[in-house]
């Protein structure tokens, strides 16, 4: 996957800020939950884990994640102030820290997380390779990365093209290509699968 440089990060941020008030209305709740559940079912017991949620948007995942975490905690990261503002209002739990930061400039400490989640957001990050390297750094040995989508790669590309600038070039690579990048970043890849309706990468930082 070649690194895509956007050239207009502020335009993209402004576009997501504008979408934030109606973001949760763009897809039915049951469809979103089905996507969450498909990914989280791959992970087993999550109790007590320290989790990073990349591209957290309005924080819809957190409402479904927190009951599985018990005493665990989540850091939700998004570059859109509008998205983070809605997330913090919708999920004010003290177990969640909301960061309005670039995903490759989070300030998160080395070996501070057990699990990194990235749901329906990876194509919007301009440097996926840098993100994978950062995710390895954040994770403790044995920690996992789950990157998944509830649309297939071609269907997602069509959605983004129709949406127009600044997201029309935000594309997923073939999952085998992403798996190779993850391996180069230091991950052991367990699952790398895609079909017409889903896309999944599950990887682990080696012990």
pLDDT digit string, tens, across residues 26-43: 888 899 999 999 999 999
Q: How many residues can be counted in the chain?
A: 207
Percent of residues, the chain, with pLDDT higher than 70: 96
- Does the structure show a pLDDT above 70 at 93? yes
Q: What is the CATH number of domain 9-204?
A: 3.40.50.150
Residue-range domain boundaries for the chain? 9-204
Instruction: Please tell me the predicted confidence (pLDDT) of residue 48.
Output: 98
Q: Is the pLDDT of residue 5 over 50?
A: no
Which one, of 61, 54, 55, lies nearest residue 12 by Cα?
55
CB 37 within 8 A of CB 3: no
pTM for this entry: 0.94
The predicted model gives 58-65 an average pLDDT of: 95
pLDDT digits (tens, 9 = 90+) for 172-201: 999 999 999 999 999 999 999 999 999 999
């Amino acid at each position: 996957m070649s690194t895509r440089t956007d050239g207009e990060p502020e335009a993209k941020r402004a576009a997501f800020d504008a979408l934030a008030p109606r973001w949760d209305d763009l897809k039915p709740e049951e469809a979103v939950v089905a996507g969450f559940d498909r990914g989280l079912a791959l992970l087993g017991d999550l109790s007590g884990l320290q989790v990073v949620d990349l591209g957290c948007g309005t924080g819809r995942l957190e409402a479904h994640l927190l009951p599985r975490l018990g005493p665990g905690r989540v850091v939700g990261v998004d570059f859109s102030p509008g998205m983070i503002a809605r997330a913090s209002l919708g999920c004010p739990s003290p177990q969640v820290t909301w960061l309005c930061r670039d995903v490759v400039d989070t300030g998160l400490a080395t070996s501070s997380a057990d699990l990194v989640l990235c749901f329906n957001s990876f194509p919007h990050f301009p440097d996926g390779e840098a993100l994978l390297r950062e995710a390895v750094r954040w994770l403790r040995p044995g920690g996992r990365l789950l990157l998944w989508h509830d649309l297939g790669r071609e269907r997602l590309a069509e959605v983004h093209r129709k949406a127009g600038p600044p997201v029309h070039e935000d594309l997923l690579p073939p999952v085998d290509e992403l798996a190779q990048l993850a391996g180069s970043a230091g991950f052991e890849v367990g699952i790398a699968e895609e079909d017409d309706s889903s896309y999944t990468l599950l990887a682990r930082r080696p012990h």
